[in-house]
Amino acid sequence: MRRQPKDGTTQPRLFGADPFVGFGPSLFRPSDEPVTGRRIRGKQPGRLRRGVRDHAPRTPGVYGMLDDSGRVVYIGKAKSLRCRLLSYFRVNSRDPKAGRIIEHTRALVWEQTADEFAALLRELELIQRLGPRFNVLGQPGVQRYHYICVGRTPAPYAYVAKTPTGKELGCYGPLVSRDRSEDAVRRLNDWFGLRDCPQTVPLMFADQAELFPSDRAAKCLRYEIGTCRGPCVGACTRKDYTASVRAVKAFLDGRDRTILTNLREKMEAASGAFQFEKATALRDRLRPLEWIDDRLSLLRRARNQTSYVYPLAGPDGKERWYLIHRGQVRAVVAAPVTDADRAQTAALLQSTLTDTPTSLVLAEGAVDSVLLVAAWFRKYPDEKAKLLTRAAALASCAAG
């Protein structure tokens, strides 16, 4: 479990969650907008249910379940707080996990949000900050991320790393499912003939002169079976090896998918010739590469979106502007009405939706936010028609 300190780093929790003192500030609510919420206590589920029935509103929001020590054990979001919270007390129809959560719950607390989109963002924000025990696998913000990297001189290759050092030739992610990533990396190194031996193995390129030439033996079978160019035995030039490294980067960058086309063609040809074992082996090589290509393509599409403003009216009829930059919601303001509001909003647009290049490598906390925004517009594609470019939003502020 993790929590997010004020400096933005992620640190382990040594003694469990802290006692709940409130949900705290939010990036996804206008700074001058009041917070509306409530806390209900009760040792018995029946008392909690009565409190929900009497006080919970039919509006979007987030909620938390607190145990007998006052620690948050679960964070959730709802399109209708009343309906969602009452569902926890329907013994015959609720999910088994909901029953376990209620068994540990001695207090309920909720906070209303402007709309469903804000509830999604706020839920993610709170899970990352509080790390509740029941928000585990399958929930945003608690995945064990890793990265696929290309680097490590003098003969770079593809490998999986938990944390990039910043010295890599290329870094891609973050990703989940480390086993699948390691399989994909192994297939890439084999296809392009890149080494994957330890850094302690001495390397020698064919165009690198030796004062006292000596016979070298390959340190593994990959050179013998043709899946490594053999820099350990001087079997390739530095230029040829570098070309293979660039080809790997071109695939991971999404610039060259020839490897996928070649494998598909070979697999179909083998199948057509009734060479089913060969076709199966080619399929097993293809699948991990298709998976990594799909995952990295999704991250690129989400990350490389241009900046825009998403105006959204909530159930209260008020409109808020979500300022989204490079796939992340960076600020939320009430739709400007007065001249002072428009001036302040224009200044915020200029400072938030900048043209300054950002890193292509997403931090762990950022990737969930980017994917959440992308998933929202996939679920509600008609909402894209509402989006305003930075120029259009600034023109709206200027026109009044």
Length of the chain: 400
DSSP string, 298-358: HHHHHHTPPPEEEEEE-TTS-EEEEEEETTEEEEEEEPP-SHHHHHHHHHHHHHHS-----
Query: Kind and range of the H or E element at 173?
Result: strand 170-175
CB 337 within 8 A of CB 311: no
Regarding whether 193 and 45 lie in a shared domain, the answer is no
Helix (H, G, I), strand (E, B) or coil at 219: coil
Local confidence band at 214 (pLDDT 50, 70, 90 cut-offs): low
295 and 184 fall within a common domain: yes
* pLDDT interval class at 12 (50, 70, 90): very low
Q: Which of 201-215, 247-261, 363-377 has the lowest mean pLDDT?
A: 201-215
Please, are residues 140 and 372 in contact by the beta-carbon 8 Å criterion? yes
Q: Which domain holds residue 188?
A: 146-302
Q: 46 with 104, same domain? A: yes
Residue 213 binned pLDDT confidence (cut-offs 50, 70, 90): low
Residues 282 and 297 in one domain: yes
- Label residue 246 by pLDDT band (50, 70, 90): very high
Backbone CA torsion sign across 342, 344, 347, 349? negative
Q: What's the average model confidence in pLDDT over 173-195?
A: 92
- What Rg value do the Cα atoms of the chain yield, rounded? 27
Bridge partners, 70 (sequence order): none
**C-alpha dist (Å) from residue 57 to 86, 107, 112, 122, 282:** 11, 17, 8, 17, 56
DSSP H or E run through 270: helix 258-272
Domain boundary among 267, 284, 302: 302
Task: Measure the CA–CA gap between 71 and 263, rounded to whole angstroms.
Answer: 52
The pLDDT of residue 106: 94
Asked if residue 338 and residue 206 are part of one domain, the reply reads no
Among the ranges given (97-106, 133-142, 164-173, 333-342), the one the predictor scored with the smallest mean pLDDT: 133-142
Q: Specify whether 312 is located in the same domain as 298.
A: no
Give the pLDDT confidence score for residue 138 in this predicted structure: 39
Q: Which amino acid would we find at residue 193? A: G
**Res. 118: pLDDT tops 90:** yes
Measure CA 253 to chain center. 17
Band the pLDDT of 228: cuts 50, 70, 90: very high
Burial of residue 72 (CB within 10 Å: 0-12, 13-18, 19+) is: buried
Q: Would you give the DSSP letter of residue 19?
A: B
What percent helix, strand, coil does the chain show, rounded to 5? 40, 15, 45
Which of 248, 270, 302 is the last residue before a domain boundary?
302
State yes or no: pLDDT of 148 exceeds 90: yes
The answer on 123 and 7 residing in a single domain is yes
Report, as an integer, the average pLDDT of 290-318.
Answer: 86
Instruction: Say whether pLDDT at 1 is over 60.
Output: no
User: Can you give 50-70 as a three-state secondary structure string?
Assistant: HHHHHHCCCCCEEEEEECCCC
Instruction: List, for residues 252-294, the tens digit of each pLDDT value.
Output: 999 999 999 999 999 999 999 999 999 999 999 999 999 999 9
Residues 93 and 14 in one domain: yes
Q: Average pLDDT in the 351-379 region?
A: 75
For 202, which DSSP code? -
Residue 136 lies in a domain: no
- Residue 11 has what pLDDT? 42
Q: Which residue has the higher pLDDT, 347 or 129?
A: 347
Q: Are residues 158 and 208 in the same domain?
A: yes
Selection from 7, 252, 294, 2 nearest residue 144 by Cα: 2
The C-alpha angle 43, 47, 48, rounded to 5 degrees, equals 85
The verdict on 234 and 291 lying in the same domain is yes
Return the minimum-mean-pLDDT range out of 104-113, 198-207, 276-285.
198-207
Number of folded domains that form the chain: 3
Name the packing angle between helices 276-303 and 258-272 (round to 10°): 150
The pair of three-digit structure tokens given for residue 198, joined into one six-digit string? 């330890």
Same domain as 50, residue 195? no
Average confidence (pLDDT) over 325-345: 92
Distance between CA 277 and CA 143 in Å, rounded? 36
User: Which of the listed residues 302, 321, 347 is the one where a domain comes to its end?
Assistant: 302
Average pLDDT, whole number, for the chain?
A: 86
